[in-house]
Structure 1
C-alpha cells in the first residue's frame, strides 16, 4: 500500500490512522511512503507560494523526513516492531543528517521545555536513531552516486530497494532508469548487496517468487 506523508496537510501520527498501520503490520505487508507538498506551502511567512520548485526539490525530502520523525516519536515501532515502511527517495534528508538525528535528537527536550517533546523521548524504548534505521528506502535519487551510497550506509543493504521514479524524468522514464542502474552497478558495494538491491529485497518484502524481479525496474511510485 502507498500512503503520503500527510493527508490534506494533516500528520499521520494520529489514532485515526493507527488501524491502517496495525492491519499492514499484522499481515506483514509493506507500506510505501511518498512525499507530498504543494507550491502553495510558502517557504517564508510573507510570501504566498514556494518559488523555483523549492516545494518539490527540497520540500518533498523534508516532508519525508518529517513523517519519519513524527512516527518515530509517536512510538509506532514500539507498537509494531516488525512493521515495514519504505521511504521514497532514500529516506529524504535523514541519511545525510545522521549526526543531527543521532546525538542531536538524544538531547530532545534540552532546547525547549515542551512537555510533549520530553514525554515522547522518555517513552521510547530505544534511541531515536535506532528507530530511523528501521525504515526501508529506495534508490530513486535521479542518478546520484554519492547520495545513494550515503543512504546505503545508513539503512544497510537489506533495507534498500531499487527504484527510479519512472516515468517522471526529462526523457519520459528512460533517463532515470538508465542512470539508476548505472549507479547501483558502479557504486561501492559487494555483488551480494547489489543483488539484494536489484532483486532480493523486493522479493522478500512483496512475497514474490524467486527470479520474478529479474530485468524489471522495481519502483515504489504507483
Structure 2
C-alpha cells in the first residue's frame, strides 16, 4: 500500500539520553545496526526506507522517557523546549514527509499547556499532536509517579482539547522501586514484552474512569502497540466496572469504556504486527479506532510494512483507512488545507490496493490470474 502514515516513530537528541540510555535495551546490532544512530537520523536511512516501503508521512516524537524521566521540573521543562525546537527545525526541512508530536514536562499542568500553545501557534513548525511518555517522574529517588487522571491535570487537558491536539500516551520504564519489587528477578518481562502494556493500560483506564474524556468531549487520546492489551480485555473491563460496586467512579454512568473508542480513544499497530490481533481489535473497537504505525527504529520499517501490505486480510477500504485515512481524521492538522502538510484522504486504487496493477505493466500481459502472474511458475509477490 502506498501513502501510509506512521504515527509512533521515535527520534532523539543526545541530551535525551541523559534521562535514559536507550542503548541498554539490547546489544548493538540487535535493534538495527545502530539504534542510537537511527534515532538521531531523520533524512537519511529513515527517509530512504520510507520511500522503499510506501510510507508517505512519519510523525516523529522524542524517544521515551523524554521529559517524563526528568525529576527536576526546571530541567524537564528545558529538555522539552529544546527537543521541540530541534524537532521543528528537522521537520521544516521536509514538511511533506515529516510531522511532529510536542514533548512536555508534566510537573506543572499549566506550564505544559503553555508550552503546547507555544509550539502549536505556528503551523510551519509542523506539530500535529502531543507525546506523553506515561507517568511523570518526581523525587530525588525517582520513585514518585505523577499520573494525569488527577484533577489538577484538567488545566492541561483543557488546552489540548481547545487546540485540537491529540495526545499520544507512550510507555516508559518502571520506577526503581517498582523495578526492584516486580521485575528485577524477571527483567525480560519489564519492558516491551509485558511491563509497558501493564503500566500504560492502567494509566489510560485511569484517565477514562476518572471522567477526563467526559469533561473534555472533544479530546482525543491515542495509545500504541495494538491498544496495550485493552481491546482484548474490554468485555471483562466493562463487566467488572460495576456501578453498584463503584458508585463514586467519575466516568459517565451510562457509558462503557468500549464506547469511547473511535471517538476519543484510538490505537495504533506500532510494534504489534499480528493479523489475528488486528482482526480482534477491529471486532472489539472498530476499524475507525485503529491507525497504522511502525515504532521505528525500535522496529523494522520493512517488517512492519510487509506485514501490513501483504499479510493483513481485511477489506481494501479498511486497509486504506487504517493505513492512512483514519490518521487524517484524528490528527487533523495533517490534512489542514491551510497547514503545511497538506495530506488528503485516498481510496484503495490511489494507494495501489486491490487493482490489477499499473496500467503500463498490464498492457503487455496476458491476464493469468489475480494471485499469480505466470501460468506455469509460482512467482514471488512484489
Residues 11 and 67, structure 1, Cα contact 8 Å, conserved in 2: yes
Query: TM-score normalised to the size of structure 2?
Result: 0.47
2:149 equivalent to 1:149:
no
Residues 135 and 155, structure 1, Cα contact 8 Å, conserved in 2: no
Provide structure 2 residue ranges, at least 5 long, that are not aligned to the other structure.
1-129, 138-144, 335-341, 352-382
Deviations 1:125-176 (A, max 9, x none): 423442356411111134222222222333322221111110013xxxxx3x
How many Å separate the matches in 2 of 1:48 and 1:151? Answer: 28
Tell me which structure has the larger Cα radius of gyration: 2
* Distance verdict in 2 for CA 1:123–1:95, change over 3 Å: closer
2:210 equivalent to 1:74:
yes
Deviations 1:94-118 (A, max 9, x none): 011122112222x2564xxxxxx43
Deviations 1:50-95 (A, max 9, x none): 5232110211011121012101111012111221111121221101
Instruction: Specify the alignment match of 2:188 in structure 1.
Output: 53
Instruction: Specify the alignment match of 2:150 in structure 1.
Output: 14
Residues 90 and 139, structure 1, Cα contact 8 Å, conserved in 2: yes
Please, which of 290, 294, 297 is the counterpart of residue 160 of structure 1? 290
Classify the secondary structure of the residue corresponding to 1:164.
coil
Classify the secondary structure of the residue corresponding to 2:190.
helix
Provide structure 1 residue ranges, at least 5 long, that are not aligned to the other structure.
111-116, 170-174, 216-222
RMSD of aligned Cα (Å): 2.8
Instruction: Specify the alignment match of 1:36 in structure 2.
Output: 172
Residues 211 and 250, structure 2, Cα contact 8 Å, conserved in 1: no
Q: How many correspondences in the alignment?
A: 201
Displacement, 1:44? 7.8
Displacement, 1:197? 1.4
Q: If each structure's helix is expressed as a fraction of its own residues, which one has the higher value?
A: 1
